[in-house]
Amino acid sequence: MRIAAAVVAATIVVLGLTACSEEQTNDAQNKVNSAITSGQQALETAKESAGNAIDQGKTALFVATFRGAYAPLAADRDDADIEKILTTTCDEVAKGTDEAAVKAEIITLAENNGTVPTQEQAGHIYSLAKAACP
């Protein structure tokens, strides 16, 4: 929305410059072009960042599913703690880390007050997390 607002504002400025001198018009046009370029660069940066980020909807679904399926592992944990399982898994998958090593990390991260997930549960958590990864 900021980019659209900047483009609209820039257009108004350009149209309003018709009464100004040519030097003032060129200076204003350069400022407008600079603002538009900056807005486009910001949009491209945001798109690139979003491409690498885990979708918030998928994150929320992962947390809710984890809480429902693994209540003893989720008890008394905040969402950020459970999200760490997801983000760590996604980071390791992106690096190409061996699946067995990622599952071992999941066991460590998912352990809660002495309750440790089984290998089978770690496999399910791995599959759930991997599906949410970008």
**Cα gap 35→32, rounded to integer Å:** 5
Q: How far apart are CA 84 and CA 118, in angstroms?
A: 19
Better-scored residue on pLDDT, 93 or 3: 93
- What is the pTM for the complete model shown? 0.62
CB 85 within 8 A of CB 112: no
Which residues have a Cβ under 8 Å from the Cβ of 96 and sit 6 or more positions away? none
Q: Is 133 helix (H, G, I), strand (E, B) or coil?
A: coil
pLDDT confidence band for 83 (50 / 70 / 90): very high
Beta-strand ranges (E) seen in 1-134 are: none
